């Protein structure tokens, strides 16, 4: 909450200045950039002064129930939250998205930005007792994930070679510099899977998929489909005395009202992501036994927008899109539809993501400007005051998105843009958006810690691919934008990268390929007895190795 | 008795034909919905590329022509194989078998309770027609019938779980308690109370209203007057003459509802996080998990057909005047 009240620009500028300083200093001091494993201790919050105690079971919610917990094969949100305790990536990230150790104890990046070398922790064992080694990392990143994981495929296909230098050292050599590569080792982006189980098998049908074997602090004990998933302490975890908890139980509770009741009655001690509808949040945060935080979603950094099909007239005209932007009150959306959760965006990059620049064209609500733009286009109101009619298909992801659709219909109606609402379900929505069979829809995408990983994909013309979701489905194309995103993805110098991303943000905020609505924040409710939870940029999806329950 | 056997046999043959028609129709219906499981999974992953969707379609067999898919499916169903859910990576039979006990214990208990209470209350209302007891029963039945079932569920849960703390708010059993034997039965029973009452209230309302209306109709018929004239006791008239004749429409409705018991109740199962078939079906629709959905449809169809036949037989037992027409 404090983050929202204190305002964005100051903290962002601070963060940015610091990272530039650090990069410059590192460049001067050493040819090789080394980030020591002790970073985790430094990043641990000051409130961990109380002495942790062993024992206790944390109860949370898993919703919707995932089809599998094999994280390499399925990266649905709930799968990540549960399987993030079973599997591990090489790295995790602090709130500013700087890398922290997970399976990798330390790492170096060569000055030319082409070689990434990871030192792995010793004595790590898989849940079946077999030792973990560099070979598992090589297998996961060069074979398993390349076959089944779209995001990992995009990252690791940039490697010329992936080699195990010894049992505990892995070296990735890139074909060309790709500074965002360091953000690609988070647990859902690149979960490390056991080579001894998957090598040579059909990954998707391997019987072991039902009994996930990871290296994490918790093991799957029982999964009663439709009821609960029970994780228990991994007694052989490689960090001494960790984890503190005896186990974590995730309950499947399909009804949103029942989920609120579960938190209210203390049957669960944690809720995350969309477990609770935003309209429940004001009520729940007054409960005496829980605290609310919106931190811990910096890595996903979701950005919601109006997705506009540029193949449809008059939506191809940027004056029309600007008129829409002026007609919408985004502060109202944040305060009245999301009940204060989130931040009003300025441009394509979420303000918690690196290289965000607030100095862009912004659109305050202004009905006169909107009408003037429509007049300029020659769209005059007819007898009923209607200038144009558009079809809006709200994202079928719950009540809040439906309410947003209703608001948009009203807001656009005020400037003479008549909106026809179309309804659909998740499968129908995916099908229609991927195949460009829509006029306007609402959508949100995760930004994964770096514009090259989570932002460029929406705007570059090489990513206009029919039939594939989360691409440039609008059909927006600007050669300058393509060029800037391409250059920035290969630029080793952070200062130059910043310039390129700043320019692209300025162009996009003027072209307005989509109308950004909200930098989304999810509410995490934690029982006050739960300590040390949610400390990194992946928040509730992290391992929870040092989480403990006060008696 | 030969007539009966013949009837039964011819009904079974007809049922088989109906079943095949149902399977084919369901198949096309399910595939007519926009989107497919591969698209849903791509949507859930938050990232996708061509290879991801193509691989999934190949694995699910969705890249084959639709008639070939239908042929494969019918071929399997005839052999008693309901197929394989690629989403859940398990055979459909296993998934259904896992959910069936929870569903049956919920719906059967609620059904029996509703039927017994509904007929009893309906009879009481009809016998005391026009008095305060009749009015009370009618109003309660109307309220229970008209109030959204999920709302009643939430309110009961709010009262008995949150306020009073007597009963668990949701779930099938206490997680991690590891009860066995009688302790396990008791544990499930405690969890069962709220969902059963909620579901039974709704069904009960229907039966009570039906029984009352039907009894009032029969009560004014001539043979009831005759029975009265013969000097039979009130109790005997009500049970032997009125109720026995008035119960036929109740049996019809109960027969239809009994067939749907395996289908579970989506709303109740959702509100109380009950791991039953209804929720499974609903989720399968959203996820376009064709095989699971078709499996549930098929099992439910079979039960409906079976219970229809049973109902016909029951008619003959309750009312011997209903004869097999040749």
**Per DSSP, what are the bridge partners of residue B56?**
none
Give yes or no for residue B309 having a pLDDT over 70: yes
Q: Is A228 on the interface with B (CB under 8 A)?
A: yes
B144 touches B151 (CB < 8 A):
no
Region B119-129 average pLDDT: 90
Name which of A75, A153, A209 is nearest B89 (Cβ-Cβ): A209
Q: Is A195 on the interface with B (CB under 8 A)?
A: no
For the CA atoms of A144, A145, A148, A154, the dihedral, rounded to the nearest 10 degrees, stands at -150
Residues of A in contact with B45 (CB under 8 A): 74-76, 150
**ipTM (interface predicted TM):** 0.80
Query: How far is residue A334 CA from its own chain's centroid?
Result: 19
Q: Is A462 on the interface with B (CB under 8 A)?
A: no
Nearest chain B alpha carbon to A469 = B48
Nearest chain B alpha carbon to A71 = B45
**Lookup: tokens for A355:** 């290289």
Q: Flag if B286 and A255 touch (Cβ within 8 Å).
A: no
d(CA A485, CA A74) in angstroms, rounded, equals 28
**CA nearest B299: which of B32, B163, B96?**
B96
**Lookup: tokens for B294:** 């078709």
Name which of A154, A426, A468 is nearest B50 (Cβ-Cβ): A468
Nearest chain A alpha carbon to B58 = A204
Q: Flag if A57 and B171 touch (Cβ within 8 Å).
A: no
Count Cβ atoms below 10 Å from residue A355 Cβ, excluding itself: 21
Region B142-164 average pLDDT: 87
What pLDDT was estimated at residue A395?
92
Q: Are strands A524-527 and A270-271 parallel, antiparallel or unpaired?
A: antiparallel
**Per DSSP, what are the bridge partners of residue B85?**
B90
Q: What percent of chain A has pLDDT over 70?
A: 91
Nearest chain A alpha carbon to B33 = A428
Choice between B220 and A163, residue whose per-residue pLDDT is larger: A163
Q: How far is A253 from chain B (nearest CA, A)?
A: 5
Count Cβ atoms below 10 Å from residue A515 Cβ, excluding itself: 22
> Which helix H or strand E contains A35, and what residues bound it?
strand A33-35
Q: Flag if A427 and B95 touch (Cβ within 8 Å).
A: no
At A380, is the secondary structure helix, strand, or coil? coil
Q: How far is A252 from chain B (nearest CA, A)?
A: 7
Region A127-142 average pLDDT: 97
The pLDDT confidence band at residue B150, using thresholds 50, 70 and 90, is: confident
d(CA A453, CA A451) in angstroms, rounded, equals 5
Helices (H), A207-312: 256-264, 281-284
**Which of the residue ranges A2-6, A187-191, A394-398 has the most confident prediction, judged by mean pLDDT?**
A187-191
A146 touches A159 (CB < 8 A):
no
Over the Cα atoms of chain A, what is R_g? 24
Mutate to test the interface with A, among B170, B178, B184 (most CBs of A within 10 A): B170
Q: Which residues contact A29 (CB under 8 A, 6 or more apart)?
A: none
**Per DSSP, what are the bridge partners of residue A357?**
none
What pLDDT was estimated at residue A173?
97
d(CA A286, CA A264) in angstroms, rounded, equals 10
Count Cβ atoms below 10 Å from residue A392 Cβ, excluding itself: 21
At A412-453, the pLDDT tens digits run 999 999 999 999 988 899 999 999 999 999 999 999 989 999
Q: How far is A385 from chain B (nearest CA, A)?
A: 35
Residues of A in contact with B176 (CB under 8 A): 57, 230, 247, 249
d(CA B66, CA B28) in angstroms, rounded, equals 9
Q: Is A108 on the interface with B (CB under 8 A)?
A: no
What pLDDT was estimated at residue A301?
95
Q: What percent of chain B has pLDDT over 70?
A: 97
Q: How far is A264 from chain B (nearest CA, A)?
A: 8
Task: Answer whether CATH 1.10.3720.10 is correct for domain B101-318.
Answer: yes
Using CB atoms and an 8 Å cut-off, which of residues 51-70 of chain A contact chain B? 57, 59, 64-65, 67-68
Using CB atoms and an 8 Å cut-off, which of residues 365-404 of chain A contact chain B? none
Mutate to test the interface with B, among A59, A68, A70, A265 (most CBs of B within 10 A): A265
CA end-to-end span of chain A? 26
Mutate to test the interface with B, among A68, A226, A265, A289 (most CBs of B within 10 A): A226
**CA nearest A299: which of A80, A123, A462?**
A80
Residues of B in contact with A77 (CB under 8 A): 44, 46
What pLDDT was estimated at residue A7?
34
The pLDDT confidence band at residue B2, using thresholds 50, 70 and 90, is: low
Give yes or no for residue A190 having a pLDDT over 80: yes
d(CA A445, CA A429) in angstroms, rounded, equals 15
Residue B250 φ then ψ, to 5°: -65, -40
Q: Is A7 on the interface with B (CB under 8 A)?
A: no
Query: How far is residue B203 CA from its own chain's centroid?
Result: 10
Q: Mean pLDDT score of chain B, rounded to an integer?
A: 86
pTM over 0.90: no
Tokens 């965006």 found at: A345
Q: Which residues contact B166 (CB under 8 A, 6 or more apart)?
A: B160
Name which of A77, A430, A471 is nearest B40 (Cβ-Cβ): A430
Q: Flag if A427 and B150 touch (Cβ within 8 Å).
A: no
At A528-545, the pLDDT tens digits run 999 999 999 999 999 999
Name which of B48, B169, B275 is nearest A261 (Cβ-Cβ): B169
Give yes or no for residue A11 having a pLDDT over 50: no
Tokens 């391992």 found at: A543
Q: How far is B25 from chain A (nearest CA, A)?
A: 20
Q: Flag if B39 and A226 touch (Cβ within 8 Å).
A: no
At B20-40, the pLDDT tens digits run 999 999 999 888 888 888 888
**Lookup: tokens for A133:** 């080694």
Nearest chain B alpha carbon to A266 = B162
In degrees, rounded to 5, the angle at the alpha carbon of residue B101 between the alpha carbons of residues B99 and B106 is 100
Residues of A in contact with B95 (CB under 8 A): 225
Alpha carbons within 13 A on the beta-carbon side of A257? 16
What pLDDT was estimated at residue A29?
38
Q: Flag if A227 and B175 touch (Cβ within 8 Å).
A: yes
Residues of B in contact with A254 (CB under 8 A): 269-270, 273, 279, 283
Q: Is A227 on the interface with B (CB under 8 A)?
A: yes
Give yes or no for residue B326 having a pLDDT over 90: no
Tokens 């010793």 found at: A122
Region A457-469 average pLDDT: 92
Residue B95's alpha-carbon distances to A205, B20, B65, B280, in angstroms, are 17, 22, 27, 9
Q: Flag if B42 and A148 touch (Cβ within 8 Å).
A: no
A290 touches A529 (CB < 8 A):
no
What pLDDT was estimated at residue B324?
55
Q: Flag if A431 and B270 touch (Cβ within 8 Å).
A: no
Name which of B46, B95, B169 is nearest A470 (Cβ-Cβ): B46
What pLDDT was estimated at residue B325?
53
Q: Are strands B90-91 and A218-224 parallel, antiparallel or unpaired?
A: unpaired
CA end-to-end span of chain B? 13
At A301-358, the pLDDT tens digits run 999 999 999 999 999 999 999 999 999 999 999 999 999 999 999 999 999 999 999 9
For the CA atoms of A45, A50, A55, A58, the dihedral, rounded to the nearest 10 degrees, stands at -50
Residues of A in contact with B46 (CB under 8 A): 75-77, 445-446, 470
Region B182-207 average pLDDT: 90
Mutate to test the interface with A, among B30, B32, B33, B44 (most CBs of A within 10 A): B44
Q: Flag if B34 and A253 touch (Cβ within 8 Å).
A: no
Q: Which residues contact A445 (CB under 8 A, 6 or more apart)?
A: A302, A303, A454, A457, A458, A470, B46
d(CA A405, CA A421) in angstroms, rounded, equals 7
At A248-291, the pLDDT tens digits run 999 999 888 889 989 988 889 999 999 998 889 999 999 999 99
Residue A524 φ then ψ, to 5°: -110, 120
Name which of B43, B175, B269 is nearest A230 (Cβ-Cβ): B175
Q: Which of A16-20, A368-372, A497-501, B61-65 has the lowest mean pLDDT?
A: A16-20
Residue A328's alpha-carbon distances to A332, A364, A415, B100, B256, in angstroms, are 9, 8, 10, 49, 52
Choice between A47 and B257, residue whose per-residue pLDDT is larger: B257
Sorted by where each begins, the domain ranges of chain B are 2-92, 101-318
Q: Flag if B43 and A251 touch (Cβ within 8 Å).
A: no
Q: Flag if B46 and A225 touch (Cβ within 8 Å).
A: no
Alpha carbons within 13 A on the beta-carbon side of A142? 19
What pLDDT was estimated at residue A5?
33
Mutate to test the interface with A, among B31, B33, B47, B55 (most CBs of A within 10 A): B47
**Per DSSP, what are the bridge partners of residue A270?**
A60, A526
The pLDDT confidence band at residue B10, using thresholds 50, 70 and 90, is: confident
At A277-287, the pLDDT tens digits run 888 999 999 99
Q: What number of C-beta contacts closer than 8 Å exist between A and B?
A: 165
Choice between A499 and A449, residue whose per-residue pLDDT is larger: A499
What pLDDT was estimated at residue A30?
40
Mutate to test the interface with B, among A55, A149, A150 (most CBs of B within 10 A): A150
Give yes or no for residue B155 having a pLDDT over 60: yes
The pLDDT confidence band at residue B235, using thresholds 50, 70 and 90, is: confident
The pLDDT confidence band at residue A2, using thresholds 50, 70 and 90, is: very low
What pLDDT was estimated at residue B251?
87
Q: How far is B300 from chain A (nearest CA, A)?
A: 20
What pLDDT was estimated at residue B323?
64
Q: Which residues contact A211 (CB under 8 A, 6 or more apart)?
A: A220
């Amino acid at each position: 909450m404090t983050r929202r009240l204190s305002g964005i620009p100051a903290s962002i500028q601070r963060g940015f200045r610091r990272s530039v300083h650090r990069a410059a200093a590192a460049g001067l001091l050493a040819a090789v950039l080394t980030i020591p494993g002790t970073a985790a201790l430094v990043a641990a919050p000051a409130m961990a002064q109380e002495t942790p105690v062993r024992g206790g079971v944390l109860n949370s919610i898993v919703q919707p129930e995932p089809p599998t917990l094999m994280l390499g094969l399925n990266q649905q949100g709930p799968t990540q939250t549960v399987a993030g305790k079973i599997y591990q990536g090489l790295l995790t990230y602090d709130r500013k998205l700087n890398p922290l150790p997970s399976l990798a104890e330390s790492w170096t990046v060569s000055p030319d930005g082409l070689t990434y070398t990871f030192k792995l922790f010793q004595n790590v064992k898989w849940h079946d007792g077999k030792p973990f080694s560099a070979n598992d990392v090589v297998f996961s990143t060069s074979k398993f994930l390349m076959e089944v994981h779209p995001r990992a495929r995009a990252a690791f296909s940039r490697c010329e070679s992936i080699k195990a230098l010894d049992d505990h050292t892995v070296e990735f050599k890139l074909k060309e510099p790709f500074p965002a590569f360091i953000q690609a080792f988070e647990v859902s982006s690149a979960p490390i899977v056991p080579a001894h189980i998957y090598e040579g098998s059909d990954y998707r049908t391997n019987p072991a998929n039902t009994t996930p074997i990871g290296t994490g602090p918790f093991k799957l004990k029982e999964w009663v489909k439709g009821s609960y998933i029970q994780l228990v302490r991994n007694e052989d975890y490689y960090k001494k005395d960790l984890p503190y908890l005896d186990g974590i139980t995730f309950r499947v509770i399909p009804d949103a009202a029942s989920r609120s009741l579960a938190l209210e009655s203390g049957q669960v001690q944690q809720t995350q992501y969309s477990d609770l509808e935003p309209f429940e949040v004001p009520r729940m945060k007054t409960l005496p036994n829980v605290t609310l935080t919106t931190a811990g979603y910096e890595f996903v950094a979701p950005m919601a927008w109006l997705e506009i099909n540029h193949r449809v007239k008059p939506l191809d005209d940027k004056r029309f899109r600007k008129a829409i932007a002026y007609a919408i009150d985004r502060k109202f959306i944040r305060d009245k539809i999301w009940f204060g959760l989130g931040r009003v965006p300025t441009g394509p990059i979420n303000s918690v993501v690196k290289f965000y620049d607030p100095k862009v064209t912004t659109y305050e609500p202004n009905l006169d400007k909107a009408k003037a733009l429509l007049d300029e286009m020659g769209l005059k109101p007819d007898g009923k005051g209607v200038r144009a009619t558009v079809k809006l298909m709200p994202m079928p992801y719950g009540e809040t998105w439906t309410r947003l659709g209703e608001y948009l219909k009203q807001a656009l109606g005020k400037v003479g843009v008549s909106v026809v609402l179309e309804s659909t379900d998740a499968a129908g929505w995916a099908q229609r958006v991927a195949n460009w069979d829509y006029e306007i829809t609402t959508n949100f995408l995760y930004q994964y810690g770096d514009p090259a990983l989570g932002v460029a994909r929406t705007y570059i013309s090489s990513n206009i691919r029919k039939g594939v979701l989360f691409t440039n489905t609008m059909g927006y194309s600007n050669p300058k934008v393509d060029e800037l995103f391409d250059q920035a993805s290969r630029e080793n110098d952070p200062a130059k990268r910043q310039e390129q991303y700043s320019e692209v943000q300025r162009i996009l905020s003027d072209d307005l390929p989509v109308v950004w609505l909200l930098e989304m924040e999810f509410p995490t409710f934690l029982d006050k007895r739960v300590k040390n939870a949610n400390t990194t940029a992946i928040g509730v999806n992290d391992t929870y190795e040092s989480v403990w329950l006060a008696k | 008795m030969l007539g009966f056997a013949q009837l039964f046999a011819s009904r079974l043959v007809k049922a088989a034909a109906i079943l095949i028609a149902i399977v084919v129709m369901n198949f096309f219906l399910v595939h007519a919905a926009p989107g497919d499981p591969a698209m849903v999974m791509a949507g859930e992953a938050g990232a996708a590329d061509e290879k991801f969707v193509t691989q999934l379609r190949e694995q699910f067999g969705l890249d084959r022509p639709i008639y070939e898919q239908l042929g494969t499916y019918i071929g399997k169903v005839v052999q008693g194989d309901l197929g394989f859910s690629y989403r859940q990576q398990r055979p459909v039979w296993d998934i259904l078998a896992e959910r069936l006990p929870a569903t049956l214990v919920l719906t059967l208990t609620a059904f029996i309770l509703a039927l017994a209470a509904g007929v009893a209350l309906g009879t009481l209302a009809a016998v005391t027609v026009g008095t305060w007891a009749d009015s009370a029963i009618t109003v309660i039945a109307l309220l229970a019938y008209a109030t959204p079932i999920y709302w009643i569920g939430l309110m009961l849960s709010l009262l008995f779980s949150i306020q009073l703390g007597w009963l668990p708010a949701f779930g099938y059993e206490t997680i991690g308690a590891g009860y066995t034997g009688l302790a396990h039965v008791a544990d499930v029973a405690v969890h069962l109370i709220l969902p059963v009452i909620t579901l039974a209230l709704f069904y009960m309302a229907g039966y009570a209203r039906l029984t009352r209306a039907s009894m009032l109709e029969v009560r004014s018929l001539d043979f009831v007057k005759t029975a009265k004239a013969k000097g039979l006791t009130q109790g005997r008239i009500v049970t032997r003459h009125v109720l026995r004749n008035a119960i036929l429409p109740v049996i019809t409705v109960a027969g239809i509802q009994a067939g749907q018991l395996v289908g579970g109740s989506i709303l109740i199962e959702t509100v109380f996080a009950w791991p039953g078939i209804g929720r499974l079906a609903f989720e399968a629709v959203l996820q376009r998990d064709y095989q699971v959905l078709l499996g549930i449809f098929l099992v439910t169809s079979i039960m409906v057909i079976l219970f229809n036949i049973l109902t016909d037989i029951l008619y003959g037992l309750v009312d011997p005047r209903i004869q097999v027409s040749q």
